[in-house]
Each structure stands twice: as structure tokens, then as C-alpha cells.
Structure 1
Amino acid sequence: MIKEDVVLQNETGLHARPASIFVKEASKFKSEIKLFKDEKEYNAKSIMGLLSMGAAKGEKITIQANGEDEETAVKTLVELVNNLKD
């Protein structure tokens, strides 16, 4: 299991378009991927899960992956979050 914290930098956080981009990318990996915010757990491969998280700009989330491609998954998704545009 690998996990890493990241702070949302884009204006809309993980809402609508950025969330769909994140889910699409997360779904490419075989590992189980979860996001954590405020001690609550969310399925990173579920658009409804991410939208219910309500993650806004400046908030910290934790990306966690567990599985055969966990290292690549976390690295890729952290880079994605850091480069998301509105």
C-alpha cells in the first residue's frame, strides 16, 4: 500500500470536469485506489464518490493505492491533481 498527500490547486477543486478526468485516469489502474479527506474514505474510481467528497481548492486529500501497480497509480494521480486546470 502506498499513499501520498496532495493539496488541490485548481479553482474548482475536484468537481465536475476535474473529477471526471481523475476517475477516468484512476480507472486505468488495476490497484484499488481510495481518496481520503477529513478522515472519510472515497472510491477514486467512482464519479459519484468524488463529487460527494466536495473537495475544494486549498484542501488536502490523500491518495492511496493498494495492488500490483500501486506505485505508478499514486505517482500518476498526484501529478494529475497538481496539473489539473479548471
Structure 2
Amino acid sequence: MKEINNKLRHNRQVLQRASPEGKTTLRREVLQLAGFDFRHFTHLYRTRQGNTYHFCYDYGYLLLEDEKVLIVNWQPYMDKSEIR
């Protein structure tokens, strides 16, 4: 359990460092080189358009085409009912 928590916290830190302003698009490789583990996340958020964001606490990411990733912060409009 402690090991998983450490991985989740590390993932959050990587996302935070990569996106200090709260919304950034970058290549997936940048996160991988920083030690990000795409297998570990705290929850999912699905939009009405069908996009699925993976969150590590309050930072999330959406996998895009061409090996890119959109990083976002949790926003108040992200209604809890959309979490799965």
C-alpha cells in the first residue's frame, strides 16, 4: 500500500511540474522520462463528449493522438457524478 501511495504522489508531482499553470500539452515521452507510471492513478473523469481523463489526486491527463498528453487541474465544473 505504501509503495502504491508513493507512486501516486510521484505521478502527481510529475504532472504538477510539467504543468504549473494547470493546462499543458506535451509529448508522452516527457512524462515517461520523468518516471511517470501510466498504470497508477486515483480516479477517472469521463466528459459528456466521451473523453476519459486519468487523475492523480487533483492533476489529470488525457491521452491525445500522436503520443501527446493534455495535463489539467481538477476544476469545480467537473461534477462528481461524472467520476467512474
What is the TM-score with the length of structure 2 in the denominator? 0.25
Question: Greater CA radius of gyration, 1 or 2?
Answer: 2
**Higher normalized contact order (CA 8 Å, seq sep 6+, divided by chain length):** 1
What is the TM-score with the length of structure 1 in the denominator? 0.25
